[in-house]
Structure 1
Amino acid sequence: MNLLKAFLLSAFLHSTANTASIPFDHKPNDQQLANPNHGPVPGQDPLYSSYRGKAPPFPAYITDPIKPTADGPPGIDDLVWQNLLSAEWVIFSFYQKAVEMFNATAFVKAGYPNTTYDRIQEIRDNEAGHLRIFQNEITATSVKPGACKYSFPFDGPASFLALATVIEISSMTFLTGLVQMAKLPAAHGVMVAIASTETRHETWTLLEIWKTSPFAGPSDTVFPYANQILDLTNAFIVPGSCPPENPIYPSPRQNLPPFSPAGSTKSIEPGNNIVLNFTDPTNQPKFHRGVQYYATFFHGPSNISVPLDTTGWPHEDIKVRIPPQFEARGIIVAVVTDKMGASTLTTVKAGPLLLLEQPAGLGLMAL
């Protein structure tokens, strides 16, 4: 090997080793992030795949909002990207907490493959890349939301992996809604590319962790109102902890009454009956006399509405049967509506409820 080749190989290995072992390191400055060329570039730097440290990688350790650097109206899709960036802070922080809390031995002792912790770190890296992509998609005339403080309901490898599966499959569903909200074709392309990455995360958990088929039928579930699913992640945000510069999340926010199957539910597979349990005593639905309400279930590319008897509520339970026509695959999204098919945003009066069908036992446990 000649001297030039040896020098180039040494430089390449040194560069790769540094990038893979430490996050991008310089004095944190939120306004530097306004420049899309600042720092490692997703798709061009192995940081977003190969970093294996416990410290947050770039740009995740710079948590302040990025202020606008230009005057003028917001970009046409800025609101969609702001919602998605705020959601990504939740998802990244979820994986970052697991990276800090666990190690490879913790997952092996819990009975999971010895590659599990490494894969979680790689997913964390991917999510850091998503943060940077979404920051760069928001134009210079709009604020780029910063991180809040978060609290996640897991205390060990098993509960973490269960929640990770729900989050990844849910990500597929809200991305199908966000694609419909965005107006620019370029935005559609980026969101589809992100969705395909989330599919890889989901496939890994289903195959390697739960030993089940990753196939959800010919189509993942299409749900048109992404902000309603994003609103569910507010349960992970510590109240009052978000930077005051952040826009309302999600915006616009309906703050719909949440519901879940009652504790007596034995199965959430198609064909089974569930009792609707409205879980927030300060945010209960209002059912008006003479109005027919429905449980509208979304699965695959279509939906089915089932009439509800609300006349005796709250003294009598509201029961509904999950449509037996659906395959017990992927995820079913249920909402309470006052019109069949939930053709507009305002027809949704409560929910959504996410019913995970794969693996069968996990969906009920995760509610």
Structure 2
Amino acid sequence: MSRFQTILRLVLTASLAITSLAAPHVSRRADGVTDTQLLQFALTLEHLESTFYNQALDKFNDKAFADAGYESWVRGRFEQMRSHEQTHVDFLTKALGDAAPRACTYDFPYNDPKSFVALSMALETVGGSAYMGAAQFLQNKDTLTQAASILAVESRHAAWAASAVLKGSPWDGSFETPLTVDGVYSLASQFIVSCPSTNPTLIAKPLPKLTIEPTSPAAGQHIKFNFNHDEVKHDGDKLYAAWFDGITVHHTDLGDDDRASIPQELQGTVYGAIVKTKESNPTKQDLLTGLVMFEIGFSSYAPNP
């Protein structure tokens, strides 16, 4: 297991222990959503990222990064990323006006620059997937272009942190992975403690918590899914593990012991969830649980799957 995988495993495992006391108001969506609702959700994520960088970079100075083994330019790039995220917050806040949600209170599971870097990569990756998954619902083409511009920056952030800093791969395969609003919220809400009562209701459906054992598995490995069966409502007896891989969804049968095998062809950032049907479109998949996220490292000489 690489140093990157070890750190990311520790960070993501720690995040699952965070309890949300008063997460954003969420509701089950109707068939249609407005651009305003989508931008409110985007701003909620940008507030989270901006606060994440503000808190961490205020806590860890140049010496802390140097003591962790990073060259002097690394923290400077994170300062630039902090500025980008604040600009995104300001831009969306201005666009929404009185309808803009305010920042929440957060709890991020890092305790040193190394765990901060790993969590940064994870948050930026999820942020890019959030914009990608929501793009199809935006009606205003100018808004779509602006969202795509932010999406591109989030992806650049993730690629830089993954490769230049963590010495891993800057990409996973030929396609990035779009995620549903519900799936993104299941990951982001792990870090939210409470939000202002005046914030608008978000267009997200809370999903049952999902964890896996082991927390940092390998491709082809048989793993255990942990979730509350009483919270997972579905018709019929058959459940599947869905694996989100770019614009493709792989499925494996979930056994009676809640175990399933990870497809051999997966690499890089992997998202998994429990589902009831083998829907092939990643943004139309009806999730029965929240997402799990982990990394499967691969060599620079490995072919694309």
* Offset, 1:106: 0.5
Of 102, 106, 109 in structure 1, the residue corresponding to residue 60 of structure 2 is 102
Structure 1 residues 266, 129: CA separation in 2 closer, same or farther (over 3 Å shift)? Answer: closer
* Partner of residue 75, structure 2: 117
* Partner of residue 52, structure 1: none
Of 216, 239, 242 in structure 2, the residue corresponding to residue 296 of structure 1 is 242
1:108-147 to 2 correspondences below 5 Å: 108-138=66-96, 140=97, 143-147=99-103
Q: Which amino acid aligns with 1:296?
A: A
* Partner of residue 212, structure 2: 261
> Is the contact between residue 295 and residue 307 of structure 1 (CA under 8 Å) also seen in structure 2?
yes
* Offset, 1:288: 5.7
* TM-score normalised to structure 2 length: 0.80
In structure 1, C-alpha distance between the alignment counterparts of 2:284 and 2:171, rounded to whole Å? 29
Q: Per-residue displacement from partner, 1:162-198 (whole Å, max 9, x unpaired)?
A: 1111111122222211112322222221121111111
1:164-243 to 2 correspondences below 5 Å: 164-223=120-179, 225-239=180-194, 242-243=195-196
> Is the contact between residue 124 and residue 154 of structure 2 (CA under 8 Å) also seen in structure 1?
yes
* Partner of residue 112, structure 2: 156
Structure 1 residues 194, 357: CA separation in 2 closer, same or farther (over 3 Å shift)? Answer: farther
Of 272, 290, 303 in structure 1, the residue corresponding to residue 221 of structure 2 is 272
In structure 1, C-alpha distance between the alignment counterparts of 2:204 and 2:38, rounded to whole Å? 12
Q: Match of 2:71, SS?
A: coil
Structure 1 residues 301, 77: CA separation in 2 closer, same or farther (over 3 Å shift)? Answer: same
Structure 1 residues 284, 159: CA separation in 2 closer, same or farther (over 3 Å shift)? Answer: farther
* Partner of residue 352, structure 1: 291
* Partner of residue 318, structure 1: 258
Structure 1 residues 109, 147: CA separation in 2 closer, same or farther (over 3 Å shift)? Answer: same
- State the structure with more CA Rg: 1
In structure 2, C-alpha distance between the alignment counterparts of 1:155 and 1:359, rounded to whole Å? 27
* Offset, 1:359: 7.3
> Is the contact between residue 181 and residue 203 of structure 2 (CA under 8 Å) also seen in structure 1?
no
| Unaligned segments of structure 2, at least 5 residues | 1-32, 300-305
Percent identical pairs in the alignment equals: 26
Aligned-residue RMSD, C-alpha:
2.4
Q: Match of 1:211, SS?
A: coil
Which aligned runs of 4 or more in structure 1 are off by greater than 4 angstroms?
Answer: 342-346
* Partner of residue 24, structure 2: none
| Unaligned segments of structure 1, at least 5 residues | 1-74, 311-316, 361-367
Q: Per-residue displacement from partner, 1:263-320 (whole Å, max 9, x unpaired)?
A: xx27533212211022xx6x9533667431111111011111222234xxxxxx3101
In structure 1, C-alpha distance between the alignment counterparts of 2:60 and 2:264, rounded to whole Å? 40
In structure 2, C-alpha distance between the alignment counterparts of 1:359 and 1:205, rounded to whole Å? 16
> Is the contact between residue 296 and residue 335 of structure 1 (CA under 8 Å) also seen in structure 2?
yes
In structure 2, C-alpha distance between the alignment counterparts of 1:115 and 1:95, rounded to whole Å? 16
